[in-house]
Amino acid sequence: MAAPETSTAAVPTLYTNNTLRNAFGGVLSFFILLLIGVMAFSIRLFSVIKYESVIHEFDPYFNYRVTQFLAKNGIYEFWNWFDDRTWYPLGRVIGGTVYPGLTLTAGTIWWLLNSLNIPLSVETVCVFTAPIFSAFASWATYLLTKEVKGTGAGLTAAALLAMVPSYISRSVAGSYDNEAVAIFALIFTFYLYIKTLNTGSLFYATLNSISYFYMVCSWGGYTFIINLIPMHVLLCIVTGRFSSRLYIAYAPLVVLGTLLAALVPVVGFNAVMTSEHFASFLVFIIIHVVAFVYYIKGILSPKMFKVAVTLVVSVGLAVCCAVIAVLIALVASSPTKGWSGRSLSLLDPTYASKYIPIIASVSEHQPPTWPSYFMDINVLAFLVPAGIIACFLPLSDASSFVVLYIATSVYFSGVMVRLMLVLAPAACITSGIALSQAFDVFTGSIKFQLSGASSNTEVDAAETSSSTAESQTDAVKTEKPEETAKNRPSRKSKKKEREHGEKPSTKAKAEKKRLLALPLESSVISLLLLVLLGAFYVVHCVWAAAEAYSAPSIVLTSRSHDGLHVFDDFREAYAWLRHNTDVDDKVASWWDYGYQTTAMANRTVIVDNNTWNNTHIATVGTAMSSPERAAWEIFHSLDVKYVLVVFGGLVGYPSDDINKFLWMVRIGGGVFPHIKEPDYLRDGQYRIDSQATPTMLNCLMYKLSYYRFVETDGKGFDRVRQTEIGKKYFKLTHFEEAFTTHHWMVRIYKLKPPKNRIRGKTKKSKSKTSSTTSSPKRSGTKKKNPWQ
């Protein structure tokens, strides 16, 4: 037992004992952090072990392709890269439209490794970038929570974040997406903000803006930071917590951060011109006004101050009104009120489904369901309220920030399931605080009860001795802040300060020990229950990492009684395209497969997952929902040679093109009104069986999906829709089957070449009549078919 020993020992030995204990604690927490990092990395390797080291899903393929380009051609070529393989015939300026953080990070890692003669491929680096950065993210969480509630809470929060399923879902090995590095950048920026807020050091403020710059480079979610921090600043000002530290934490961030953000090509002048950033500037003005008021208050007498206030307020209000009026006019003049569609759908959850079907069609932009909360943050959902309460005991600048962070992120996660990712760190931090405080209370009361039972007097002696020691240090501490306020603290004094910073918390614990001493049995039982809760969380996380989130989605497996079946049809089709078509052939498919086609098949696509041009996507949607001849004309006008459709009816793969088809109709109909959704629905129901509408049964998507499907089983039974198909025997007139994969999941069709014009009198007269009949039609329905 430590307590009896310290009671007999003299003060200096107690001091050395304490430093030793601190040093031991430091080493221990260092190793715990190391292990947390290892765990964060290794829990994300299930996908590599169960499947293979491969890039996952859709967007990561684009990032991978960009990284390959970067590694091959260098940074300058990358900035100037005009990609003609996508959005044919428009193309896309990659360097100016991509968040380059992830690519540059992986490219730098690759370059570094290769210059050290470690010949890892770009693919390997890309696959393992996300797990590495999740280790970094858990360390950043440790730092942030440590700033808020001390080391114990920090370690708990880091451990929780290392395996939170929500974050795992976006950062398994192979999930090479912006979020992988952005979450680290987000947490680290918050940490530096809190650190600046706690220390008032300009050094950390500068680091904070650089970290913010990295976040801007990596993810569009940086607007969350630039709105959350001003909100917190405003909260501090309103609650009367304004200090010079707050000013140092905020003002450099806005100035430097905005300047740096404007350097990123994809953001550019948006950093000062869009409404997402206005809050930060408004608060920037407010904080200056407040700082000015505080300054004036300091130099003027109270009476003079009152006079000055009335004067300034009356003039200031007038000026403010004018400025705000101009601002509002400016903002209101832009059609979207200066907000981007995604941000608007954040503020108004129903916005996207009303106006932008292309955003609404993405499954990760849907609001989450309740089970998905349990799936993604599991027991943290129950610990968060406790953590919020713990943040209020006592409320500091830092803990109020955590409260604000969790409150806003809960709202955002409720709007878009994708933003669950932003909630996860906040939930981990608050739960970490809750768990660690609970552990503190329970272990403290156990210790108190045990030592109290053995020798009450000795404990009292220990208490008095330690309290004297603390009062001594307290005396030192009261001197310290003034000192630090004046001097730039050297590292040694900072270290001392850190020790002192921990002191009051131990003292507080000692007080709490006396106040919150629970009965021994109940605290032991609660401790066990907490451990059980943690164990449940760990089991769930490992299950989620291993089963739910490790599938790369380009290769599917199914287990049946006769072993493991692998469905590798996507890559089969892409490999076929890559090797057996001309290098400049254009492939049309729904936009979901655009990134994969350019990355894996290296063929030009019409639309891809970067849904920047709604009209172009609508054109492809219109073609897919048109009858064969009209579709052929649209595709032919786009110089398309192959059409790729994904069909799951044979093996029961549910996310195929027939199931996505209504979105194609909706998006196509949004631009070309001759495509009407009700034409494809029978009594409001979407069906492909014999009850389906003739428009549906004659559209290109139906035909390409079910061409000769009936010959597989004689009936044409679709295993996804669980029905027999409506139209079984039909021929293609303008398309021919070029390739179908082993399980029919990808079908590629070739456009037949246009028929030769036959010179002859009969034909000539026919064409004449047709042209005369068609020309008024064309002028009459101008928008009907723009591709003639």
Residues near other proteins (CB under 8 A) are 52, 54, 116-119, 487-488, 490-492, 554-555, 566, 568, 571-572, 574-576, 578-580, 600, 708, 711-712, 736-742, 744
Q: Which is nearer to other proteins, 52 or 460 (CB)?
A: 52
Angle (CA) 157 158 159, round 5°:
90
What is the smallest separation between the CB atom of 494 and other proteins, expressed in angstroms? 9
Task: Starting at the earlier edge strand, list the strands of the sheet with 604-605.
Answer: 604-605, 586-588, 642-646, 746-751, 735-740
Q: What is the DSSP string of 259-311?
A: HHHTTSTTTTTHHHHSGGGHHHHHHHHHHHHHHHHHHHHHHS-HHHHHHHHHH
Cα–Cα nearest to 551, from 54, 65, 124, 63: 54
Report the residue number, 21 or 488, with the smaller CB distance to other proteins.
Answer: 488
Query: How many Cα atoms occupy the beta-carbon half-sphere of 702 within 13 Å?
Result: 28
What residues are paired with 556 via a beta bridge? 567
CB 73 → other proteins: shortest distance, Å? 18
Nearer to other proteins, 572 or 677 (CB): 572
Closest distance of CB 201 from other proteins, Å: 14
| Least gap, CB of 600 to other proteins (angstroms) | 5
* Least Cβ distance, residue 746 to other proteins (angstroms): 10
Cβ count near 747 (within 10 Å) = 24
Taking the complex as a whole, the smallest distance from the CB of residue 245 to other proteins amounts, in Å, to: 21
Which residues does residue 747 pair with via DSSP β-bridges, in sequence order? 645, 740
At residue 91, what is the residue type? G
For other proteins, which is the closer residue by CB, 241 or 578?
Answer: 578
- As measured in angstroms, the least distance from the Cβ of 698 to other proteins is 21
φ and ψ at residue 278, rounded to 5 degrees = -65, -35
Name the DSSP class of 597: I
What CA–CA distance (Å, rounded) separates 362 from 357?
9
Whether residue 701 contacts residue 664, with contact meaning beta carbons closer than 8 Å, is answered with yes
In this complex, which beta carbon is closest to other proteins, that of residue 286 or of residue 710? 710
Nearer to other proteins, 127 or 688 (CB): 127
Q: How far apart are CA 435 and CA 451, in angstroms?
A: 24
CB of 125 to other proteins, least distance (A): 15
Min dist CB 571 to other proteins, Å, is: 5
CA distance linking residue 362 with residue 740, whole number of Å: 27
CB 581 within 8 Å of CB 644: no
| Closer residue to other proteins (CB): 488 or 768 | 488
| Closest separation in Å from C-beta 601 to other proteins | 9
Nearer to other proteins, 358 or 600 (CB): 600
Closest approach, Cβ 123 to other proteins, in A, equals 9
Q: Compute the chain's Rg from CA coordinates.
A: 32
Q: Least separation, in Å, of the C-beta of 580 and other proteins?
A: 5
Q: How far is the CB of 448 from other proteins (least distance, A)?
A: 36
DSSP state of 627: B
Closest CA to 53 of 554, 421, 542: 554
What's the Cα-to-Cα distance from 445 to each of 175, 310, 648, rounded to whole Å? 45, 55, 60
CA 214 to chain centre: 15
Residue 523 CB, nearest approach to other proteins (Å): 39
Q: Is the peptide bond before 394 cis (omega within 30 degrees of 0)?
A: yes
Closest CB to other proteins among residues 21, 742: 742
Nearest distance from C-beta of residue 573 to other proteins, angstroms: 8
Nearer to other proteins, 118 or 319 (CB): 118
Q: Rounded CA gap, 149 and 389, in Å?
A: 13
Q: How many other CB atoms are there within 10 angstroms of residue 319's CB atom?
A: 9
Q: Which residue's CB is nearer to other proteins, number 115 or number 756? A: 115
565 or 764, CB closer to other proteins? 565
What is the C-alpha to C-alpha distance for residues 106 and 178, in angstroms, rounded to an integer? 11
In contact, 426 and 433? CB cutoff 8 Å: no
Q: Quickly tell me which residue has 């240090």 as its tokens.
A: 473
**CB 570 → other proteins: shortest distance, Å?**
9
Alpha carbon of residue 453 to chain centroid: 52
Fill in the DSSP letter of residue 240: T
Give the CA distances from residue 695 to residues 337, 594, 679, 681, in Å, rounded to whole numbers and listed in that order.
Answer: 39, 26, 6, 9
Phi and psi at residue 627, in whole multiples of 5°? -65, 165
Q: Cβ–Cβ contacts within 10 Å for residue 299, how many?
A: 8
CB of 700 to other proteins, least distance (A): 17
Kind and range of the H or E element at 588?
strand 586-588
- When the beta carbons of 490 and 773 are compared against other proteins, the nearer one is 490
613 — phi, psi (to 5°)? -120, 100
Closer residue to other proteins in complex, CB, 582/683: 582
Helix (H, G, I), strand (E, B) or coil at 735: strand
Among all chains, which residue has been given the structure tokens 């709490």? 512
| 378/741 with CB nearer other proteins | 741
DSSP state of 488: P
Nearer Cβ to other proteins (579/782): 579
Q: Which is nearer to other proteins, 586 or 747 (CB)?
A: 747
Q: Whole-angstrom Cα distance, residue 631 to residue 515? A: 78
Strands (E), 665-745: 717-718, 723-724, 735-740
Cα distance between residue 532 and residue 535, in whole Å: 5
Rounded Cα–Cα distance for residues 410 and 392 (Å): 18
Q: How far is the CB of 119 from other proteins (least distance, A)?
A: 6
Decide whether 311 or 566 has the Cβ nearer to other proteins.
566
What DSSP state is assigned to residue 727?
A: -
